[in-house]
Amino acid sequence: MGETDICNRALVLAGCSRGITSMGEGSTEAAICRRVYLPALRSLLSEYPWRWATRIVAPAEMEVSVPGWRRLYDLPEDCLVVTRIFNEAEANAPFTVLMAEDLGNYVKAVATDLYQASMEYVSSAASADMPELFAEALAYRIAMEVCVALKGGDINMREHLAKFYNEAVRRAAWNDANECVVTCDEWGDEYLRARS
């Protein structure tokens, strides 16, 4: 589903009788959809570590030091949420995302003690790959914003749409989680290996 299709679905959910033919058209509906689409998408992507929107990179180490951490890495421009820092030796290292001063400018970075780290993050550039259930949740999110602007601030309708939105997010997250099998070590494995 593309931007226009998602926005048309949102307009229907919000009770609007008119749809749009493109995001760039001059209608009031299209103007409102243009204003709310990207913030709604970024917000929904940030709510959950969506597997389909996850990217893994080897970030560049910065030349800046931060008290309490040994290493500081650049964040990719499309990074919304860092979900994991790891390398060959450690599967899940402690980290924090912070603003660091670099050449007089403050930039968003990730601090960790891990050498040659890899970073797993949710990407804002992943919207072309979105599954149908995610697109449906996004349509409900946009409908919540659109109904207030186009329907004269109908708070009851917004609350009604919010319930459907929360359910749609839950279904999309459940579906996303089921597309991945994560192996977990049995409890005590490290102790058994140490004794053998």
- pLDDT tens, position by position, 18-56: 889 999 999 999 999 999 999 999 999 999 999 999 999
Read off the tokens for 117: 């780290």
pLDDT for res 192? 58
- pLDDT confidence band for 190 (50 / 70 / 90): low
Half-sphere exposure of 99 (CA within 13 A, CB side): 3
Distances (CA, A) of 104 to 16, 65, 67, 99: 49, 14, 18, 12
Q: What is the pLDDT of residues 85-144, one digit of tens each?
A: 999 888 899 999 999 887 778 889 999 999 999 999 999 987 777 899 999 999 999 999
Half-sphere exposure of 25 (CA within 13 A, CB side): 12
pTM for the model = 0.82
- How far apart are alpha carbons 34 and 169 in whole angstroms? 22
On the question of pLDDT at 15 being above 80, the answer is: yes
Distances (CA, A) of 92 to 87, 147, 194: 8, 42, 21
